[in-house]
Structure 1
């Protein structure tokens, strides 16, 4: 295939395929690829199970794509009458400091040796000449999407792994302290807890949130960090002005252990320059549902390029609006950031005359609204918190209820990080929401919720998240309705979603 999709979790998927004996013998790409490559590196280093990773020219790739058979003999690829010489990764020319070399030589333990070896190989994959210091880490491989994540984490812990920089943990697969009371199957709950515990024992903070930018110690402008989790990476680069690659799962731990990352990609200023312009023709009036829709549309127009977004210079999106935009952008684009003129910190880019331009109009927004709203109007579940809800979102949801209660036939759930939950409790928001019939669950998020916490009887989901509107059917088999946060509150109370387009889209 040309390359992989770009999800941070793809490395773990490949490792699980290897563990199950179902991995392909080789993966052949003709574009840059890092995520599945990292999965193959980990499989080889930790488990001595190999998957060949090849990157070839487009011409060779085209020939291979129509061939019935190809064979690899050490450093040679044979396809029909063609024999293609292969060369391995060159890690010898990488400029390492003395600490890097001590880790690489095993002087700081087996775990650090494994971590530094993987980082050096990824540096070669990314054509980096040196490594860069990072000050914060964020772990994404903590969701029990499969057993490989648990096997990897526990093996690294047993080998002596420990993080060396402040490191947060993404949302996990269970409500860590309460899953036994929520009907979760014990085998799954125990494995998910062991996975979270492994990262905590390696020194990561048990934040259990997919929105680490909501924490007090969020990255600052120009701070160099090593994050995984797509929405967090995009928000950090695009809104906070920090610098991080979108690192594959497992590499996030290696970076947190060593405090070092390949100096490549958007760590380099020249690679943060937009390659495409997207002009937004903003309607005169709109509500907060526009922001996730814009993110989805922008990503759809720039699936693998950093876009320059114009037309929003006079708009005043809130932090929640920008959070929703970045998360939805990450569902349709593999790019680690976008430049929103007037809102992304740093240089304001002049637009080269040859920069390809696309437009987003009210008609595009209306078409996407219909795409997101394909389910019946009767709502069974209202899903808030993808990514995790902020304090201001909780405050707004309370205001929209205004003393009313949830319809008894509708489950309404907000997923939230521990830090925001604590603040919401201190403001009395949690008590008010629970009194209205709203469930508030920490640690997990909508990308990791499974039955029975996800109501088995629910067939129609209402959400304000473009990210979840995109992923929900694939994750749950259910259909969606989509709208603003206020629309979600109304649906929670009435049990019904709106049939018609929002007024601001229909005029």
Structure 2
């Protein structure tokens, strides 16, 4: 891979170990995927923040980067951690978990990476159309590529961190226009009406598409929240990096495969995502983290109602959205719900918090929670979640 003179100096260690190891990570990645050079990025988004998912190993690496003078050269944000330090319920976790999670967050901050602690960095500072990024959260990657027309590969935590320190990423994959073409036409003939239906659709499509890019037709709504849920689910059951929406009736000539989605496919996805029949301990909303419009919708459903005493209701969002939604937050909290920031049900210790069964409208959570937290799941629409959570 071609390196400029400045990049060669970094590669050879002239700017210190932190930048050298970061450059070598990027060059190794570029060589592996046939990149010819590095390109500048507008921002990086780093996964691998929750102590629950990364454990101890990365802590020493982050310390070494910091001690070697490593600092982010571009705007860089972080994925959710395992704890909301502003909510007393998380102080019930073991002390060592609380302390080590705080250490990880502090190390990232000292390296110059924002403690945004959200999977929706695009609500904080949306990237420009056509901007090159190095993002490591799968739901944010497919959102950026498909909805915002930004350009990013699905990075791992280490490569996104390396890109933050160098300010560049290898020029391969979805940074190349020829790799951003759709190859499959998806015809949605199923009745998809709500955000959970779109999530179920995404789970089905991720399973059948793998990593292929689809052109999707037949969606009755292109509401942002619906597309966010669909995309997050496609990147969960598969590794779909982006999708296109069909805008015209003309059939594209370059398509060689057509996939038709029927009602039974959506129903099967619902059944596969649900593993419980009993009453949930937790009703969880906000994966990916809620937007301002979602918070408003949740508040409107909860206004004048009360959450049952034996069920917890969590609504997860970023601190920025929480600040913007203060009036709606008051309604949610008055009902007995809790608005949680900096974490989510997928990356915290649910069992330690007394959760055995959760109900959610997030297909991504329904897919991952049994694997990451060994809890049972009920997957259903937002209106159903609120109905179950509240006193009749």
What is the TM-score of this pair, normalised by structure 1?
0.73
Give, in angstroms, the shift of residue 105 of structure 1: 2.5
Tell me, which stretches of 5 or more residues in structure 2 are unaligned? none
Q: How does 1:357-436 map to 2 (within 5 A)?
A: 357-425=258-326, 428-436=327-335
Distance in 1 between the 2:196 and 2:214 partners? 21
Q: 1:377 to 1:186 in 2, by over 3 A?
A: closer
Give, in angstroms, the shift of residue 342 of structure 1: 3.6
What are the Cα deviations for residues 403-444 of structure 1, in whole angstroms up to 9, with x where unaligned?
Answer: 01001111111121111111122xx12221111110111101
Q: Secondary structure at the match of 1:408?
A: coil
Q: Is the 8 A contact 1:210 1:445 kept in 2?
A: no
1:259 corresponds in structure 2 to: 167
Q: How does 1:58-457 map to 2 (within 5 A)?
A: 94-144=1-51, 145=53, 146-178=55-87, 182-215=91-124, 217-283=125-191, 286-312=193-219, 315-342=220-247, 350-353=252-255, 355-425=256-326, 428-451=327-350, 455-456=353-354
Distance in 1 between the 2:128 and 2:190 partners? 29
Deviates more, 1:429-438 or 1:264-273: 429-438
Q: 1:323 to 1:363 in 2, by over 3 A?
A: same
Q: Is the 8 A contact 1:272 1:306 kept in 2?
A: yes
* Larger radius of gyration between Structure 1 and Structure 2: 1
2:381 corresponds in structure 1 to: 484
Structure showing greater relative contact order (alpha-carbon pairs closer than 8 Å, 6 or more residues apart): 2
Q: Secondary structure at the match of 1:278?
A: strand
Give, in angstroms, the shift of residue 478 of structure 1: 1.9
> Would you tell me which structure has more helix in proportion to its own residues?
2
Give, in angstroms, the shift of residue 275 of structure 1: 2.5
Tell me, which stretches of 5 or more residues in structure 1 are unaligned? 1-93, 496-507
Aligned length: 389
What are the Cα deviations for residues 435-486 of structure 1, in whole angstroms up to 9, with x where unaligned?
Answer: 111011110112211146x641x33211000001111111222221111111
Distance in 1 between the 2:341 and 2:48 partners? 18
2:362 corresponds in structure 1 to: 465
Q: Secondary structure at the match of 1:203?
A: coil
Q: 1:176 to 1:460 in 2, by over 3 A?
A: closer
What is the TM-score of this pair, normalised by structure 2?
0.94
Distance in 2 between the 1:445 and 1:342 partners? 35
In angstroms, what is the RMSD of aligned CA positions?
2.0
Q: Is the 8 A contact 2:47 2:79 kept in 1?
A: yes
Give, in angstroms, the shift of residue 178 of structure 1: 5.0
Q: 1:448 to 1:259 in 2, by over 3 A?
A: same
Distance in 1 between the 2:188 and 2:127 partners? 28
Give, in angstroms, the shift of residue 240 of structure 1: 0.7
4+ residue segments displaced more than 4 Å: 177-181
